[in-house]
Structure 1
Amino acid sequence: MSQALRERAIEAYKVRLQAEPAASAFAPGRVNLMGEHTDYNGGCVLPVTLDLGIGIALGPAGRPGVVRLVSDGFAGEEVRCVGEGASGSRSDYAFGALLSVAETAIKEDGLCVAVTSDLPSGAGLSSSAAIEVAAIRAAGAFHGEDPDPVATAIIARSVENDFVGMPCGVMDQFAVSVGHPGSALFLDTATLAHEAVSLLADHSFMVVHSGVSHKLTDDGYALRVQECSQACAALGVDALGELGLDALESIAVLPEPLARRARHVVTENARVASAVTSMREGDAETLGSLMLASHKSQRDDYDVSVSEVDAVVESVMALGAKGARLTGGGFGGSIVALVRSSRVDDLVDQLARNLPKARLLAMIDGG
């Protein structure tokens, strides 16, 4: 899949920019199995990469100070210039990433960029992080370099925070840059310590779009970050990820909605650790229960789910999934469900009949 998207990007570059690209790269999307809204709180997460992703091809533009961007996500061409800030366009992610690592090259000769994707935006699968990481990788290849995966993740996050203006944590960029197909990635976002976790044998994770897209810069994501900061100040800690379940009594006396926001982060962080243990022990039943508890916490304590997402979770559970939860920032997007591999086809067929707007985006098999 990665090679196919790179070839698509190369072909798009040739057709739409009428030149041969000098470099190309791919970066995958990710689905988060457990640990939602814990990363910007210094907690732990458990994402896994997808076969879906972003392909980028680039080369010199012959126009100093200019980046020309084409994409299969929009018609025409966008032209961005050194010195510009974010415009609210989808091109912000690639442009900001390229500025962060190739500003000198842009100033000297400009860049042409073609972006291709089979990763839907607004699905909660880190399309923005994949664009950022793919752009950094392509710029590295253009200069004959192989960027360090951890350093790439840190740069990509700074692009999202400082250029795009999204106060996200490091999970998306880290998963996209450091993760590998076939295993989940356990990450402590406070220390960046990480390790691979094997997926469950005889089980699969279904990624299903609810039919409602999101754009986190337009919804309550930044407000949740602010509320968590306020809860930290009230509790006398630097990050909610520092707290364990023994802090729930102190959290309960906070004013609302701070008490619910902090309770979600602390309990979700504990669920990540339990999920890792369950996967290592091959305990699908416990993992499924943890996923469902995570969704309820996102819905009731963090207030980031919507009725359409809840309906998909309820439907897949009624059809025999062992667990399901909202994945991504929320306010729409996708769910991830744990199902026995032998039940996948039947469940997908029934879900399509019950919820026509929902659609299967990806399958992750544990073997």
Structure 2
Amino acid sequence: MTHTEFRRVYQTDPEGVWAAPGRVNLIGEHTDYNDGLVMPLALPHTTTAAVTRRTDGLLRLHTANEPSTPVAELPVADLEPGAVTGWTAYPAGVVWALRGAGHPITGADIHYDSTVPVGAGLSSSAALEIVTALALSDLHELNLPGWQLARLCQRAENVFVGAPTGIMDQTAAACCQPGHALYLDTRDLSQRQIPFDLAAEGLRLLVIDTRVEHAHSDGAYGDRRRGCEQAAADLDVVALRDIPYGELHTALGRLADEEQRRLVRHVVTENHRVAQVVAHLEAGRTRAIGPLLTAGHASLRDDFRVSCAELDLAVDTALSCGALGARMTGGGFGGSAIALVEEATADKVSEAVTAAFAAAGHLPPRVFTAVPSAGARRLV
């Protein structure tokens, strides 16, 4: 289908087709831009890109998700931050970042198709960026490793698009492996693949998309990041990850501003929770991570204050129906929650959340099972 659509739009065949996944974050929220620890896993939902190189300096972009929208035509020499808006800013930013790093990208025809829900906190933007970067890296024989693609795509999103995101989403899209969660240190990008086969243990990880859309370029996300950076400066550390968990109380005592105290408390305790989850999983105590997920939600809700009524309802309802743990996932202000459940209770939890949303007058949530899947790869 991708080949057919590419041929219909551009009257030629693509040189190849690539895919990059969305992600769900098991634990480690708002820690990545604080040089902290995270643990995402790739979803089976992907963004695919059929691509052919051009040599005339023109970048042409089209998506099957908006089939009536004309092909966007962008001269690569004119790409600069703020010059492109809408969804095309993400792939345009990747081309800009690659060229800025000295890679001679001279244009391309690209057709996208995506099954990653947009605005659901599942990193649709990172999937779009990484699939573009990997395709162009392959076609131009740049041989860029996954972590380097992630860095370039983060620069595209931070500088070109203007969204102050951390490095987790791009690294997850580039580097995750099937059947594993990615334990990532965002300071040095060191990573370990942690086995995460829930089905074998009679468990499921449900994703509950509240259908409340969020946007990382909105001010509230940037406010949290700036608050963390100022708190780190006031505490005379490079980043909040440098505050040991055992010294949290002392650090909080040095801060007079209550907002800063809340931000610091969340980041330090969340890094500690990531380390605890890794220890449990490596010891085969998968069910023991449930309370840590729930504690993470309380911290995001009360200290970081990035939850919303729909996310809280999803979490509270799942827990009341027997979920082992539940929390919001992603940047917050909408998006999705996750719930770790026994296989036998998965349908009950899903139905209860759907009923609770209906009773509250919310849009029906989308509920599906997260299956740890592959990172970015070439398909054809």
Q: TM-score, normalised by structure 1?
A: 0.91
What's the CA shift for 1:365?
A: 7.0
2:131 maps to a residue whose letter is A
Once residues 66 and 317 of structure 1 are traced to their aligned partners in structure 2, the CA distance between those partners, rounded to angstroms, is: 52
| 1:1-367 equivalence runs, <5 A | 8-61=1-54, 64-74=56-66, 75-82=69-76, 83-85=78-80, 86=82, 87-101=84-98, 107=106, 110-144=107-141, 146-199=143-196, 200=198, 201-253=201-253, 254=255, 255-356=257-358, 357-364=364-371
The C-alpha deviation readout for 1:140-193, integer Å capped at 9, x for no partner, is 232345432122122212212222222222111111111112110111111211
> Any idea what SS the aligned residue of 2:71 has?
strand
Total equivalences in the alignment: 356
- Whether the aligned pair in 1 keeps the contact of 2:212 and 2:335 (CA below 8 Å) is yes
The C-alpha deviation readout for 1:271-295, integer Å capped at 9, x for no partner, is 0000111212232443110000000
Task: Determine what percentage of the aligned residue pairs are the same residue.
Answer: 35
Once residues 267 and 314 of structure 2 are traced to their aligned partners in structure 1, the CA distance between those partners, rounded to angstroms, is: 23
What's the CA shift for 1:105?
A: 5.8
Once residues 131 and 256 of structure 1 are traced to their aligned partners in structure 2, the CA distance between those partners, rounded to angstroms, is: 38
1:151 maps to a residue whose letter is Q
The C-alpha deviation readout for 1:203-260, integer Å capped at 9, x for no partner, is 1111110120111102411111100011011111010001122232233332120000
- Whether the aligned pair in 1 keeps the contact of 2:228 and 2:240 (CA below 8 Å) is yes
Structure 1 pair 105–284 and aligned structure 2 pair: CA distance change class (3 A)? closer
- Whether the aligned pair in 1 keeps the contact of 2:38 and 2:168 (CA below 8 Å) is yes
Quote the RMSD (CA, aligned, Å): 2.0
What's the CA shift for 1:346?
A: 3.1
> Any idea what SS the aligned residue of 1:360 has?
strand
> Any idea what SS the aligned residue of 1:315 has?
helix
Name whichever of 193-202 and 33-42 sits farther off.
193-202
Name whichever of 31-40 and 73-82 sits farther off.
73-82
Uncovered stretches (5+) of structure 2, i.e. residues with no partner? 359-363, 374-380
Name whichever of 154-163 and 272-281 sits farther off.
154-163
- Whether the aligned pair in 1 keeps the contact of 2:313 and 2:356 (CA below 8 Å) is no
> Any idea what SS the aligned residue of 2:112 has?
strand
**Partner of residue 377, structure 2:** none
- Whether the aligned pair in 2 keeps the contact of 1:203 and 1:365 (CA below 8 Å) is no
What's the CA shift for 1:61?
A: 4.8
Once residues 27 and 87 of structure 2 are traced to their aligned partners in structure 1, the CA distance between those partners, rounded to angstroms, is: 27
What's the CA shift for 1:102?
A: 6.0
Once residues 24 and 346 of structure 1 are traced to their aligned partners in structure 2, the CA distance between those partners, rounded to angstroms, is: 39
Structure 1 pair 102–190 and aligned structure 2 pair: CA distance change class (3 A)? closer
The C-alpha deviation readout for 1:308-367, integer Å capped at 9, x for no partner, is 11111111111211111111111100011101123223322333233242111443279x
Name whichever of 325-334 and 96-105 sits farther off.
96-105
> Any idea what SS the aligned residue of 2:322 has?
coil
> Any idea what SS the aligned residue of 1:217 has?
coil
Once residues 234 and 160 of structure 2 are traced to their aligned partners in structure 1, the CA distance between those partners, rounded to angstroms, is: 30
> Any idea what SS the aligned residue of 2:304 has?
coil
What's the CA shift for 1:304?
A: 0.7
- Whether the aligned pair in 1 keeps the contact of 2:167 and 2:186 (CA below 8 Å) is yes
Q: Relative contact order (alpha carbons < 8 A, sep ≥ 6): 1 or 2 greater?
A: 2
What's the CA shift for 1:12?
A: 2.3
